[in-house]
Amino acid sequence: MGNYLKKFPASLRELKNVRALAAIAMLLALRVVLGMFANATLPMFGNTVKLSAAFIPIAVGGAMFGPVPAALIGALGDVISFVIAPTGGGYFPGFTISGLLTGLVYGFALYHEKLRLPRIAIAWAVNTLIVETFLAALWLWILYAQQPDYGFYLTARLISQAVKCAPEILVLFALSKPVERLAAALNRKK
């Protein structure tokens, strides 16, 4: 547990590095773009499964710069996406909290670690259970005035995450070597 707590101040120090800030800003921009344009539904699952690559810049930010920058990418990405292209009704802060938590999960799990498949899968699973399933179902239940019941949204989120499990984990694993090389290159130039 103490090892994970040391990641927080180390990731805060990343925000003092100009190169890191530039990379974090680019990941934030990528998060906004992917969040706005990469939503597609799979017709065979109705409206319950939406594909998006917006998690990638958050996870990459977590692996390269830690929980604090990744949380900023997740939270600010949601707010900026809403400001640029609002969807549905008004702004709902629950999804901003989810973005922040996603960044924290990936940051604590992947920062200063070898990006191996089991570690990536565990990080994905923790984020999926806590943020993408239980919290997302809660936010939807609140947004739609508790109609239908919470179990409906929870079931829909479980189906969605089960369908996306392998592709999302494999995408993150495919990016692991380039991310490790890029992080090493940025650390050499500090």
CB 14 within 8 A of CB 20: yes
Pick from 53, 63, 62, 136: nearest CA to 94: 136
Q: What is the pLDDT of residue 38?
A: 56
The reported pTM is 0.90
CA dist 188 and 152 (Å) reads 50
Spans of all domains in the chain:
2-188
Tell me which amino acid residue 105 is. V
CA dist 53 and 107 (Å) reads 17
Q: What is the pLDDT of residue 48?
A: 52
C-alpha radius of gyration, the chain, whole number: 16
Q: What is the pLDDT of residue 9?
A: 92
Taking domain 2-188, whether its CATH number is 3.40.190.10 is answered by: no
Consecutive 10-residue averages of pLDDT for the chain (190 residues)? 82 93 96 78 52 92 97 96 83 94 97 95 96 93 84 89 92 95 79
